[in-house]
Structure formats: structure tokens, C-alpha cells
Homo-oligomer: A and B are copies of this chain.
Amino acid sequence: MINVGVLGATGAVGQRFVEILANHPWFDLVTLAASDRSAGKPYGKVVNWRLDTPFPENISKVKVSPTSPKSMKDVDLVFSALPAEIASDVEVEFADAGIGVCSNASSHRMEPDIPLVVPEVNPDHLGLIDVQRDEGRDGFIVTNPNCSTIMMVMALAPIRSFKFSNVKVATMQAISGAGFAGVAAMAIYDNVIPYIGQEEQKMETESLKIMGTLKEKKVINAPFSVSASCHRVPVIDGHTLAVWVNIKNPVKDLVKAYQNYKPPIKGLPTQPEKSVLLMEENDRPQPRLDRMRGKGMTVSVGRLREGVRFVAMGHNTIRGAAGASVLNAELIHKKKYL
């Protein structure tokens, strides 16, 4: 068992980390870090549990620690659910202190020596960990993408061998993506908000790095461009994407590609039976009915039709955040980087 901790353990994504890690076969959740005023108290007394799954009682008595490498000496790996502005420095501090960091924050995603990884899409990018070590870092930072980006690149993975140069994507994103208090009820109820700060830029840049090629310790961006339009809709969990890709092949070839798709990894505990599921019903996927497929780790694709157009959907705080990061950690462990 690997000893792990969570940074930012009381927030929305932090709680998802705790939920996923509470009974993990490889990782032992021994430390939970939160704000200084919570430090020293048991997690169960400090957290305001807001998930609709029951609170994992076995974690209740874990002591909350301050957010510093010193006070978390017993862990080999931390999961970071920190806000970007804090993550920026803190994650470097942990990595330099010899601790592995699997981060859901956006701070370091686009740095040339930091892997931005989706195990089903670019597992080999973990090779950038060696670059960090060459630079003298004892630990490492590995990041997972933005929640909308990951749904898109996973939906594109099975058809990446068909050449395309242009992707257009309109998102319909869930309110949980902004954290527990991020969206006021008065703002989103009976409404659509056609703007999410920085989201379009993230989709347009992160996707090129993820689907790019690692060559001589550098990632060369994938040769296509993305144009995104991001919208918030009154849905609790589950981001829906309407995607256009300029592939000329007939739809039936794409259907086959989805059906035959085999991800390049296997044997990871958090990996779902189907990483990408092609649905045939004409009104699916739907967030409320399909977001929990594969325990929230499956990306569902539907309405594949000429254009080429399709709809992709996945759980934004599981596959799009905490689950993505845990899956990365599992791959890192399997590849013996720990």
C-alpha cells in the first residue's frame, strides 16, 4: 500500500478524492490537508460533507494536517484539489520535497516539463517525469486536464487515426464544476449562462498537448485546432458536449472505431470496464441517466452522425477531476514512478 494524502480535502473536488480513496486497493489515505484553522481536528468534525453518497466513516477520524510537506512526511503521494492560485507554489514545494503530486489544478498543466495525462489517451507522456527528475526534483507533478477537455479528448481518442484538422465544441456544463458555492441559484435556475471564465482557452490549448506527441522529452502539439463555446446549464453533475470534427470518412467507419476501441492501459482499479461507450439510442447520453456509468469514469458518446457530429458526456467531478487524478496515480504506480 502507498500512503497518500489529499490537499484541499474539504472542498467539492477534495470530497470526491476522499470518497474515491476511502477504500482504494493500492492507496492508503493517511493524511488530509485543509486550512490552518481546521488543522489538528478529525476530518469528520471539520468537513461539511455535501456529496449525495454517504460519508466514508472510516476516514472520519483521520486528523486534518496543515498544507505543508513537513507535516505530511508519511505520504509518498498527494492529490491536489487546491485552487489554482494556491496550487501554483504549494505543489512545487511538495514535489521538491520528494513527494509525488497528482494535481487537478490548472496551474502547471501547460508547463513543458509537466505531464498533462489521460491514461487512455497519452500514458507515455508520463515520460516527462524523467525530465523533472533530470532537473533535480525528487518528487514530481503530474496533472489531469480541465473537466470539459477530458470529455472531449476521450471522445476523440477512438477516432484519432482518422485525420482531422478542426474541432468545434459547444459545452453544456454542470454547476458542480464551479464548486459548492460557485454558482448562485438565482444565477442559473431557469437559465443558461453562456460564459465560463478561461474554460474555452483551456479546451483549446490543453487538448492539443494531451493529443500531442512526446518526442525527445518534449510534447509536440497535435496538428488540429479547437474552437470552443462554453455554457453553464442547470444540471448538478455531468458535462455534455456537442462536437463537430472534420472527418470525411463515413459514419459507419467511426462506429466501428468506437466499438473496437481498446484503451492502451489496463488493470488499473479506477479504470471502468468501458472507458468510452458508444450509445445507439437517439436521445442519449443524458447526464442524469448516464453520468454514473463505470462509477462515473465512463465517457458516453452518442448521436454519432454525418457532419461528423456527436454528443459526449461524462461526470465532471469524477472522470473530470478527482477520478482522473486517481487514475493517473494508479498508472504512475504501475509504471513504477513511485
A242 with B283: in contact, given A172-B231, A175-B189, A309-B227 (CB under 8 Å)? no
- Distance in angstroms from A14 CB to nearest chain B CB is 14
Closest chain B residue to A230, Cβ basis: B242
- Partner-contacting stretch, out of A105-113, A213-221, A286-294: A286-294
Within 8 A of B (CB), among A259-311: 282-289, 291-293, 302-303, 307, 309, 311
A287 with B185: in contact, given A170-B242, A307-B227 (CB under 8 Å)? no
- Distance in angstroms from A54 CB to nearest chain B CB is 7
Residue of B181, B195, B240 near A303 (CB, 8 A) is B195
What residues of chain B lie closer than 8 Å to A285, measured between beta carbons? 194
**Pairwise interchain contact A175-B170, C-beta atoms closer than 8 A:** no
Copies assembled: 4
**Chain A residues within CB distance 8 Å of chain B:** 12, 50, 52-54, 168, 170, 172, 175-176, 179-195, 227, 229, 231, 233-236, 238, 240, 242, 244, 282-289, 291-293, 302-303, 307, 309, 311, 313
Complex A-B: 30 CB contacts under 8 Å: A12-B186, A50-B186, A52-B291, A52-B292, A53-B292, A170-B170, A172-B172, A175-B186, A176-B186, A180-B186, A183-B186, A184-B184, A184-B185, A185-B187, A189-B236, A190-B190, A190-B235, A190-B236, A192-B313, A193-B286, A194-B283, A195-B282, A229-B303, A229-B309, A229-B311, A231-B240, A231-B311, A233-B233, A233-B235, A242-B242
